[in-house]
Structure 1
Amino acid sequence: MTTTARTYTVKLVDAQGLSTAQRSAAELRFRMALDFALGGPEYVLPALQTCLLVRALNEDQPPESTPEAEQQVIALWEKAEADAIMAAFKPLGKEMGDARFVIRS
């Protein structure tokens, strides 16, 4: 049986009041939801990097002038990220304030 190495890491930061187990579980739920939404762990970093590049290239442009394909790239990432955040935090049953996930290669 072959196992696939993770192509990225996730760290939950600024999450006050969580135990180590809760933090680890939230990070796992976030990773699993991103992997699912984007087609696997090997696609997460490329999707994030592409979204950031498209945003940077269009930051001085009005939103309506961004080409449709580029808007779709941004929308894909934003939906995947929002769903992953919901999957990670909802089981905790409380407001997470400034908590956020940091993704690194």
Structure 2
Amino acid sequence: MAVLDATYTVALCDHPGLTQAERTAAEVRFAVALEHQFGGPDDIATTLHTIDALERVEPEDVSAHDLVALQHWVRALGIARLAGYRGLAPRDGSRFEVRLG
């Protein structure tokens, strides 16, 4: 797992056959694209906290603000995945994991 900032980490999982340099480069591309969508690591951490909290809330209790944050997160993850996987051979089951630091 590559530590990209103290507030969160990114790991490319289940993508065998990569050198450590290739894996790290993909994780950095992903993180840079994600930060570009959010403005910085603290904004990503705040969103991760929101997403985590939403997992424990009943659907009818989700606010409009939280729904917008969730939609932004999903859209930003898609953009970051495209950047992260650029130049890599496709692998079924491969994924990027983003976790609070």
Q: TM-score range by the shorter chain?
A: 0.7 to 0.9
Match for 1:15: what amino acid? H
Matches of 1:88 and 1:74, distance apart in 2: 21
Match for 1:29: what amino acid? R
Match of 2:74 among 74, 78, 93: 78
TM-score norm. by structure 2 comes to 0.80
Q: Does 1:33 align with 2:33?
A: yes
Match for 1:98: what amino acid? G
8 Å CA contact 1:55–1:74 kept in 2: the answer is no
Aligned residues: 96
TM-score norm. by structure 1 comes to 0.77
Q: Does 1:102 align with 2:74?
A: no
What secondary structure, in the 3-state scheme, does the structure 2 residue paired with 1:102 have?
strand
Task: Mark the runs of 5 or more structure 1 residues left unpaired by the alignment.
Answer: none
Going by fraction, where is strand more abundant, 1 or 2? 2
Identity %: 31
Superposition misfits of 4+ residues, deviation over 4 angstroms: none
Q: Cα RMSD (Å) of the superposition?
A: 2.0
8 Å CA contact 1:89–1:96 kept in 2: the answer is no
Match of 1:44 in 2: 44
- Go from structure 1 to structure 2 and tell me whether the alpha carbon gap of 1:84 and 1:57 turns closer, same or farther (over 3 Å shift): same
What secondary structure, in the 3-state scheme, does the structure 2 residue paired with 1:103 have?
strand
